[in-house]
Structure formats: C-alpha cells, structure tokens
Structure 1
Amino acid sequence: MSEQQATTDASEATSEKLVELAKRRGYFFQSSGAYGGVGGFYTFGPQGAALKGNVEDAWRDRFAVAEGNMEIDAPTIMPEPVFEASGHLDGFDDMLVECPECGESHRADHVVEDNTMYEDAESLEIPEVEEVIAEYELVCPSCGAGLAGQAVEAFNLMFATNIGPGDSQPGYLRPETAQGIFVEFPRLKEYARNQLPFGVTQIGRAYRNEISPRRSIIRTREFTQAELEYFVDPEEDDPDLEAVEDVAVTLYPASEQNKDEGEEIQTTIGDAVSEGIIGDEWVAYFLGVAKPWYDAVGVDMDRFRFRQHLSGERAHYAADCWDAESEIDGNWIEMAGFAYRSDYDLSKHAEYADDRFTIFKQYDEPKTVERATVDPDMSYLGPEFGGDAQAVVEELETLAGRDRAAFDGDTVEIELEGETHEIPVEKTGFSVDEETIAGEHIVPHVVEPSFGVDRLVYTVLHHAYREDEVDGEERTYLELEPEVAPTFVGVFPLQSDAELVDEASAIVDDLRAAGLSVTYDDSGNIGRRYRRQDEVGTPFCVTVDYETIEADEATVTVRERDSTEQTRIPIEDLPETMSALRTGDREFDDLE
C-alpha cells in the first residue's frame, strides 16, 4: 500500500468515527430519522448548533464588524423574475445521468471524478462527460449497471414554490444569499450614503436540489452561507494591500493545474500580486484576510490552500475566482469562493427591474462634455411607423449615444425587429451640444467572498479529531479552538456532597454571568466526566473538591483538555482567568 493510499484510508476512517461521534454527542445527524430520513438534510444538535453559531459569530466579527460592513437578513424565497435576471433559471444546472437498471440519478461529473483521472469533470461540457463515461465504461454507483450510452442531461438545482393562493406568483428558494443583497442595492446604497466602496454581508440559508448529496454535511440540499458583496468603483477604489501583503499562502493557480505535474506554490499575498499569480488586487486582499481567520477558527494550515478556477469552471461574469479548499479524506473540498463579479449582477437587475442600480459619482470639479441627443419629428415618425414610432425613438437615442458618426450622412439606419429602416437625419433632430456636468451614474463592480458554513464546520471537526492514550486508557478528543468550542468549561463537584454541589452550582452561575458557555456534570466518576467533555471538545474543566471548601483559601482544580495538565486557581479569580483563557490573553501554562 502506498503512503498516499494509507493516508487516505486513515482519513476516511477518521470521517467514519467523526460522523458516529457527531450523532452520538449531538453535533449533527440526518434529519427526519423517525420517517426514514431525507437525503441532503441534516439537523445540527446542541453541540453542532453552538459550534456553528460560534463560527458564524467569528465570521461576522471579521468580515462585517472589523471591515466596517453592513449586515442584512433577506427572505429565503424570492419571485421568479429575480432568478430570470440573475441567470439562475437558465444556467444553474448540474449534470445528471440516470441508471437504466435501478433508476437512480447521479451527478455525472462526480461519477467521472470518482472513477477516472479527471479531477475537475464539472468544467467539461456534457458531450465530453458522455464520452468519458463510455471510454472508461463507468457503472452506476448504486447497482453496478453500465452507464455508457446513457444521456447526460442538465438539471436545474433550484427548488420551485408558489407565492400566495390561487393563481399564485411562481417563486424559488434562493440558491445563494447574494441575490438578496443585489436586489436590495437601490436602498442599501442610501444607507451607505451613496459612497463607494461599501460592503454588505449576510449569513443565512440557501437551497440547492442536489442530484446526489453525499459525505454528510459536506454536500447537502439546505445549507448556510456567509457572504460579503463588496461594491467598488473599478477606476478609483483600491484595497489596502499593505495590511495583508506579508500573509503567507499556499496557492494552486490554473497555470500549475494545467501542467502534467503541477505543484502548489508557497508565497505571500504581496508577491503573488506583484508576480501576476493573483490578477485582481481585491481578490488578493480578501484571500489575505481569510487565511489567518481560517487558522484562528481551527482549520489545519497544512491541509489548506487557495485554488484558482480553471477557465472552464469559472462563471462567465467572473474575471477571476479562487476557492479556499481544505483536505478531507485525501480530497480537497471547497469551503469558500472569492470572485471578482464585475458589474454583471447589478447590470442584469437594472435590465429587468424598475429601479436604478447605479451610484452617482461626483467629480472633483465640474466637466464640460459633448453630448449627442435626438429630438425626432413625430409628425414624420408617427405616420411612417405607426405604433412602432416610440421604439424607433428609443433606437435613435441608443444609436446617438453609441455612434454619433452614424448621423453624418443624409440618412441614418436603424434596425427594428430584424428589419433595417432608413430615416432622414433632418427628421431625427440629431445634435451635439456642450453640457457642464457635476458627475455621472456608474454601475459599481462587485467583489464576493462567499463562505460555506456547514463545510467549514465539518472541516473544523475533522481537523480537530484526535486519538491518544491517557493513564493507559484510549481517549478521543476534539482539539477545538476556544473561540469556537460549543462549551468552554465544564464544572464538576468531585462527589455528590451537598456542600460541593452548592459550591459548583455557584461557580456555574458566576462563569455564565461572565459570558462563558458552561456545562455542569455530576454523573459518574471524575475520569469519565473528563472523557465526555474531551470528546465534545470542551477546552477546560473545573473540579470542586474538599480542598475547595476546607482550605483557608478556596481554590478549584482547572484541567486543560489537550495536555490533561491541571492546576489550582482561587475561586475569586476564576471568572477573570477563564475569560482571559478564552480570548487568548492568558495561556494555561502561565497559570502556575
């Protein structure tokens, strides 16, 4: 067995143990189990909900509060025209192949990736995927029947619904939280005082009707996104690259991926920009912000990288896009995408909606400009074009703004419903006039860091999973960062003695009053209680014993999860000390 295969097998074994631990200890489990379960839907239990909430709070602190961005909470159901404008109705598809024997549907690109040398089959066209399935004689993952010759079809991932009774309005559950931000831009810009740049964040549910959800909470049909849409003036707004230029990163650019033996590159954000590896400075800035944040919440930096999208997988509106990826089970999974979306989203909504998706850009000094206008003679256009006269006016206005040279001759040509018409220039009222203007309306460009919260939670748990031996006994524990651990401290009375129980209960109240997440446990021997807290990732345990109530100075034992080392701390100092441990202002080794 190769070293790589052994590593993969060990990682998969870790995943199996982690999923079992998650269900047993209340992190996550498949939903609706009493009714047989539903694929792609998971419930976060008490521990998982707390961990997920802590991760979301940490994201909010870094990407909303620290960056000075707004946060909104938009509906998860939106009307059909929103997704017609965004392009989701026509282009939000995955590749589906159906087994001719058992009838199971599968992601065709996943079947290819799992059984061939192709690592990114999603970037292939449907005919190419069909050819690969035939060439490798791929079979159904469920029953083993051959899939060669089966049609691969595009399957739209959005969940459809109806808004209201009767002849209700068609709507969809949002496939991303971003559209809720884009749709509300005309009002949000007012809250930003019409000043660029500004950012809007949102943490919320999104829904995708995945063909074959798999790998627990890594690929589900309902999930949480944390997204930032940052609106900029592409001609004037530049990021503060100096703040992140020294951040060390592991990059896997498209140029390396296209090589037979391409390798990841170890560099810094500053060098990556200067060498042209990262083409957009705004994308580079947010990669630099994200890297230390991922480290802080517990992602193993030895199993973390930023991978650039290949041209075939990059959205047509994205000038550049990089994914934050973590290694799980020998595979790299996407945890976030960082895209420069240009003005695509706001321009599309401006085209479909009845509002203005621009910002007025004030000039430092007024400018005198030449502006081409038309003032058509309607007494000519009306009889000539009838009901199409207004459409002719609009075409003339568009042409004047785009190509004033078209009006240089005696006639000007316009196209209406595929037919060309010649109109005398004198009837168009064409003129070029000088005008003094104070500014112009521009469509902002958008930079989007989009984080998948569920996948990050899974990564944090997987990277935190540990097994060791303590006092001759095997131990499983989660080495979670204190900032995100569901419970920060467990409090135990050594025995079920009334005086010990009262003292422990008072400590619980004091620690909770200090803003710490605390659990109380008086069941079983003290070693068993330690093991329970280790397994759910509680960083510290406080034990109240007879020395606490009998000594001149009341002290308690504080135990650290990872090392299992213990020390005694005065009760009166406990809330302050534990708070300092959580924020990182003090280290456990320094408490002695």
Structure 2
Amino acid sequence: MAADDLVELAKRRGFFFGSNGAYGGTAGFYTFGPQGAALKRNLEDAWRDRFTIREGNREIEAPTVMPEPVFEASGHLEGFDDMLVECGECGESHRADHLVEAVTEIEDAEALPGDEVEGLIADNEIACPSCGTPLAGESVEDFNLMFATDIGPGDAQPGYLRPETAQGIFVEFPRLKEYARGNLPFGITQIGAAYRNEISPRGGLLRLREFTQAELEQFIDPEADEPPLDRVRDVEVRLYPATEQEADDGEYVETTVGEAVDEGVIGSPWVGYYLGVAKEWYERVGVDLDRFRFRQHLAGERAHYAADCWDAESEVDGDWIEIAGFSYRSDYDLSKHGEHGDGAFTVFKRYDEPKTVERAAVDPDMSVLGPEFGGDAAAVAEALEALAERDPDAFDAETVSVDVNGETRDVDVDVAGFAIEETTESGEHITPHVVEPSFGVGRTVQTLLAHAYREDEVDGEARTYLSVEPEIAPQDAAVFPLVTNDDRLVDLADRVASDLRAAGLAVAYDDSGSIGRRYRRQDEVGTPFCVTVDRDGIEGDAPDTVTVRERDSAAQVRLPADELAAELAALRAGESFDVLLDRYETVETDVETN
C-alpha cells in the first residue's frame, strides 16, 4: 500500500489527519480522529501491559516543559541537532541528509560529517525540492531541534519542550530510587508527548513535531545485575549488524537472541533481552514480521554515551523506518545530572560483609588558610579534599597545588593535614547504568495500518479491510439491526449494544444502508466482529440469537444473545474464532480472497 493511499484512508476513516486545516494546516502536527485515537490508546495499553505491568516496573507522568539547566546537563543544548541546508533562491529549509539519501545508496547520511554531506550535494547535483535551484555551494548547518519557551512572566526562566520523555525520569531519580527502596535493578516507564522542531516533517506520522513516546528506563548495577535472558533466549530475530551494513555483500543474520548474545553480535545481554521482549510484543500487536528487522547503529550514528544501540525497523511502502530504539546508555545520564543537579543520583550498594579500606583524607588547618587566602580559604579546603580523593600521590611533596577560581594556590602538606586512614565501610555509593527501550507510538500506529491493509473479494464484491489484531482494533464490535422497520429487531439490537458496552467493550451501532455496505464500512476501519440482529434470531419461544461475523474470513456463526458479551471478550483476549465455529451453528457466506 502506497504511503499516499494510507494517509488518504486514514483521513477518510478518521484515523489521523493534518491539524489546523481550517487555518491552512501546520506541518508536523497531526490530529488522531476517533478511530486513530482509539487504536493508539489500545496500542499504548498493550505496551503498558508488557513493559510496565508484566516486567514489574512503575510508571510516572512528568511535565512536558522543563527548565534550561536540565538540557544543559543532558547535552541537548549543544548536541541535539539535525543537518539543515537552506535554498539560496526560495529560502526553504531542508534536511540535508534526507536529500542525500533520496538520490544515493547511502542509508544513513546523518552519520556523516557536514562537509562530506555538502560534497555529496554538489557531486550529485541535488536541487531544492521546492523550486529546483541547485543546492551546490550552500552550507550545511546544525539546527537545534528543541522548542524554546519561557516559564513564568516578566524576567522568565528559560525552558524547553522536552525532546524525549526520558529526561523526566532521569531528573526525578533521587526520589524514584526511594520508591524502589534503593534496590537495583528497577525500571520506570512513561508514555507521553515529546517535541522536536523538525526541519522538514514528512511521511504522515513518521516524522512529526509533536509525537508520543513510550519509554522504559531500566536502572541496573552493571557489576551485579543480569537480565532474565532465558525467558527470550529462543526468540528468533532478524538482525542487521553494523558489520553487515558496511560489507559489500552484507546480509541479515537470522538467529536467536541467546545465540546473538553468546556470540557477541548483540553486545549487551540487557539489550538482547529487550530485543526479544520487543519482538514478541510486535508480533502480538500485529506487525508483519516478514517486514521487520533489528538494525544496529553504525559507529557514526551511535550516541557517544551508548555502548550498544539497535533500532527496531519496519518496512512501509518500500522504506525501512525506525519504530523503536534500544540503547545501553551506561551511567552517562545520571552522572551528568549528578554533576549539575542538587540531588543524589547514586544508590548505596551494601557489601555482603563490611570491608576495612584505606582512604586518603585531609584536615586543613583553617587558622593558616584563613589569613593566607582570605575569602577563598573554604574553596581551597574543598579543593584539597577533592585532590586527596582523586590523586593522593600529589601530597608526596612538601607543598601541594590546587586551582581555585582560575588561580593556582600552593599549600604546605603539613597545613593540608594529609593522612591515610583506615576505615570500615558497609557499602559504597554507585551510579546505576541505564538500559533504554524507546518506542515511537505514532510510527507504530502507521506501521500497523500499513501492515494490516488487505484487499479481497466477498460475495462477488471487492473490498478493502484492515486486519488489525482484536486487542488493538479501534472498536471491538459493531451491532446492526438488519432492518429498522421492525421494533423487535431494533429493541434487541439496542439491548445487545448496551450490554456489550456495559461489559467494557467498544461498540459501534450502525443502522444505515444495506448490510453489505455496513460490513464494508466496519471492515475498512478494522472492526474484528460484526453482530447482526435478524428475524431468524427472534422467532418462536427460543432465546434470542444473533449472528457474529469475523472480519478477515467473513465467516459467521449464530449464538445466543445472552452469551455474546462473554464470547466477544474471549475473542478480544486472543481466543480463535475457530472455537466459535466449532461450538455454534455456522451461517453460510460466499467468500473469495485474492
């Protein structure tokens, strides 16, 4: 299915559409319509079930606006950039790396230096997509993607809309560790909006300026904590390692999670574990696994703090798109916030038995430092303490030097009060490492719609339908009275719809048009089951019955109306429709599929 066709279907059937259309639209912003909002919510619930509840993690909801110091510490102010090239003729800005990728075989131009991208633009005679003017000679600049704002009136505090949900977890670590009683490992999840001022939004939900992330930050002791790898050891995965991407005849590696970790193809057992969990989850929600892979980041695209990083990618309209990232972030994030923030971004790791250790210490004589250094005396004392911890050998000479406020201060070792002391310690403070699975919710929604699109023929008529999983479908069922001029049918249909809604099922009610057209409308939005109330179901003294039609096969069964809610709930939970075919009377229908 072409991307344009998918976007048109999404708009026509209420999945998603460009925002602010009454005012000309705003690039990079999409509104989820009734069907899309429901599907997105179900997808988020499925993610929450797997990555929060079943993993024993906890979920938070942090603000989407954060003060500037957070992003100074995280490195986003300096290094959260995309490559921008501006047309000298029409003034339009474009992602330089995307322009290069579109006309070359380079899959990840973002990993290249800016001057090399400039050369590729010139060598390939790339022109402005908007006006056709050659872009050779135009400079490629770094453009920071964060949206700036002011917090408060007047002399406001500068802030930014968060470009990822992760920082809201990291900055709250000093309190979150208390809820975990300081015990590692523990995980914190969050589902919410993030914002990036994309240079050239494109591809429907694939590149937006406001989007939803579902992220897990797993905090571990790197020396002691191991993942439960045996749970996913035998999960089969299609890997595209960096070595294969760089080889002229590179191929996918078809293997299992356990083998890939044992052989070092996946460097981190924790990353391997979450690749296995994610593979099973993607299958559960309906991603076509024949159009799915895990691709390892090349050295040039991997963040400097990431020891290993893999993307989950899906094929949509001939292109591979990133739908999740799995990164071993080491202790980078907590160490940075520990340096800049006031909280304790460490946990206390208790030893099995107390240890006697030697520690370098100083006890500066302030009666000497005060007169000599005046207002800097306290800072000199602090610098001496830090130096003793960092480099005890510096105190072997008669004097020791420290830097305070840009000046070198010399202190007699006797005045510094340096000594090696024995102390008994019951544990130590360590900075946890972080393993991060990060999922793009909107991109997964678009993947599911593209992978679920089907065309076939039913009762001699062509139809299109979305074969989405019942758990993810926007509606659980649709209820139709066969005709509207029979009060008994209408009353039963109303009661059936009401009972299903009371049972917690999302139900559409449609009494307009022929039954065939009603089926087609529900097929096109992915409703897995249609319930029809007809005259055969209300005849005689027998209990009322209804027919239930399964979307993909168009097979139908007749069952008691009073049992309908329980049967549909079981189907939504994963029971096969074949069970109903075996249990109840079937209703014949003419079905042909292409």
TM-score, structure 1 normalization: 0.96
- 1:546 equivalent among 522, 531, 535: 535
Residue of structure 1 in register with 2:498 after alignment: 509
Greater Cα shift, 117-126 or 407-416: 407-416
Opposite residue 151 of structure 1, the aligned amino acid is: S
Unaligned runs of 5+ in 2: 583-594
Contact 1:254–1:309 (8 Å) recurs in 2 = yes
Residue of structure 2 in register with 1:223 after alignment: 211
- 1:446 equivalent among 414, 434, 439: 434
For residue 432 of structure 1, give the secondary structure of its aligned residue in structure 2: strand
Opposite residue 525 of structure 1, the aligned amino acid is: S
For residue 474 of structure 1, give the secondary structure of its aligned residue in structure 2: strand
Deviations 1:120-160 (A, max 9, x none): 00001111111111111111111111001001111110001
- Per-residue deviation at 1:421? 4.5
Do residues 277 (structure 1) and 265 (structure 2) align?
Answer: yes
Opposite residue 568 of structure 2, the aligned amino acid is: M
Contact 1:97–1:151 (8 Å) recurs in 2 = yes
- Per-residue deviation at 1:55? 0.2
| In 2, Cα distance between equivalents of 1:61 and 1:394 | 49
For residue 573 of structure 1, give the secondary structure of its aligned residue in structure 2: helix
- 1:174 equivalent among 138, 157, 162: 162
- Per-residue deviation at 1:591? 2.7
- 2:368 equivalent among 339, 361, 380: 380
Unaligned runs of 5+ in 1: 1-10
- 1:245 equivalent among 223, 233, 243: 233
| In 2, Cα distance between equivalents of 1:120 and 1:250 | 19
Residue of structure 2 in register with 1:573 after alignment: 563
Residue of structure 2 in register with 1:320 after alignment: 308
Deviations 1:268-313 (A, max 9, x none): 0000001000000111111111101001101000000111111110
- Per-residue deviation at 1:388? 2.9
Residue of structure 2 in register with 1:185 after alignment: 173
Do residues 109 (structure 1) and 97 (structure 2) align?
Answer: yes
For residue 61 of structure 1, give the secondary structure of its aligned residue in structure 2: helix
| In 2, Cα distance between equivalents of 1:518 and 1:456 | 24
For residue 216 of structure 1, give the secondary structure of its aligned residue in structure 2: coil
- Per-residue deviation at 1:264? 0.9
For residue 235 of structure 1, give the secondary structure of its aligned residue in structure 2: coil
Contact 2:557–2:580 (8 Å) recurs in 1 = no
Contact 1:202–1:227 (8 Å) recurs in 2 = yes
Opposite residue 235 of structure 2, the aligned amino acid is: V
Opposite residue 444 of structure 2, the aligned amino acid is: L
- 1:337 equivalent among 305, 318, 325: 325
- Per-residue deviation at 1:566? 1.2
Contact 1:158–1:175 (8 Å) recurs in 2 = yes
Contact 1:278–1:284 (8 Å) recurs in 2 = yes
Give the number of equivalent residue pairs.
580
- 2:352 equivalent among 364, 379, 398: 364
Pairwise mapping of residues 127-146 of structure 1 onto structure 2 (< 5 A)?
Answer: 127-146=115-134
For residue 409 of structure 1, give the secondary structure of its aligned residue in structure 2: coil
- 2:417 equivalent among 401, 418, 429: 429
Opposite residue 539 of structure 2, the aligned amino acid is: E
Runs of 4+ residues over 4 Å off in structure 1? 416-421
Residue of structure 2 in register with 1:7 after alignment: none
Residue of structure 1 in register with 2:460 after alignment: 472
| In 2, Cα distance between equivalents of 1:135 and 1:386 | 64
**Amino-acid identity (%):** 70
Do residues 119 (structure 1) and 107 (structure 2) align?
Answer: yes
For residue 278 of structure 1, give the secondary structure of its aligned residue in structure 2: coil
- Per-residue deviation at 1:419? 5.1
Opposite residue 297 of structure 1, the aligned amino acid is: V
Greater Cα shift, 383-392 or 485-494: 383-392
Greater Cα shift, 567-576 or 309-318: 567-576
Deviations 1:343-395 (A, max 9, x none): 11111111111111111111111111111101112233333333333332222
Do residues 403 (structure 1) and 373 (structure 2) align?
Answer: no
Residue of structure 1 in register with 2:575 after alignment: 585
Residue of structure 2 in register with 1:535 after alignment: 524
Deviations 1:497-535 (A, max 9, x none): 211010001011111122211111000010000000000
- 1:519 equivalent among 480, 483, 508: 508
| In 1, Cα distance between equivalents of 2:300 and 2:408 | 37
For residue 341 of structure 1, give the secondary structure of its aligned residue in structure 2: strand
| In 2, Cα distance between equivalents of 1:453 and 1:420 | 54
| In 2, Cα distance between equivalents of 1:420 and 1:491 | 82
- Per-residue deviation at 1:424? 2.0
For residue 580 of structure 1, give the secondary structure of its aligned residue in structure 2: helix
Contact 1:581–1:588 (8 Å) recurs in 2 = no
| In 1, Cα distance between equivalents of 2:483 and 2:536 | 12
Do residues 42 (structure 1) and 42 (structure 2) align?
Answer: no
- 1:161 equivalent among 149, 161, 179: 149
| In 2, Cα distance between equivalents of 1:418 and 1:236 | 41
